[in-house]
Amino acid sequence: MQIGIYPGSFDPVTNGHIDIIKRSAKLVDVLIVAILQNNKKTSLFTMEERIKLIEESCKDIENIQIETFSGLLVDFAKEKNANLIIRGLRALTDFEYEFQMAQMNKHLHNDMETIFLVTDVKYSFLSSSAIKEVASFGGSVCDFVPEIVAEKTLEKYKGE
Ligand code: PNS
More confident call, 41 vs 16: 16
Distance 112 CA to ligand 1 centre (A): 14
The 10 Å Cβ neighbour count of residue 98 is: 16
CB of 36 within 6 A of ligand 1: the answer is yes
Predicted confidence at residue 90, as pLDDT, reads 94
| Integer angstrom CA distances of residue 66 from 35, 50, 143 | 8, 10, 24
Distance 160 CA to ligand 1 centre (A): 30
Of all residues in the chain, the percent with pLDDT exceeding 90 is: 94
CB of 7 within 6 A of ligand 1: the answer is yes
Question: pLDDT at residue 92 above 90?
Answer: no
The residues that are catalytic are 17, 41, 90, 128
Q: Edge-to-edge strand order for the sheet containing 113-118?
A: 64-69, 30-36, 3-8, 84-89, 113-118
Predicted confidence at residue 97, as pLDDT, reads 96
| Integer angstrom CA distances of residue 138 from 11, 13, 55, 143, 160 | 18, 18, 25, 14, 10
Predicted confidence at residue 89, as pLDDT, reads 97
Residue whose C-alpha is closest to residue 127's, from 36, 32, 10 = 10
pLDDT digits (tens, 9 = 90+) for 113-153: 999 999 999 999 999 999 999 999 999 999 999 999 999 99
CB of 88 within 6 A of ligand 1: the answer is no
Domains of the chain: 3-158 (3.40.50.620)
Mean pLDDT of 20-30: 98
pLDDT digits (tens, 9 = 90+) for 96-111: 999 999 999 999 999 9
Backbone angles phi, psi at 43, to 5 degrees: -110, 155
pLDDT-derived band at 40, boundaries 50, 70, 90 = confident
Which residue's CA is the closest to the ligand 1 atom numbered 7?
A: 8
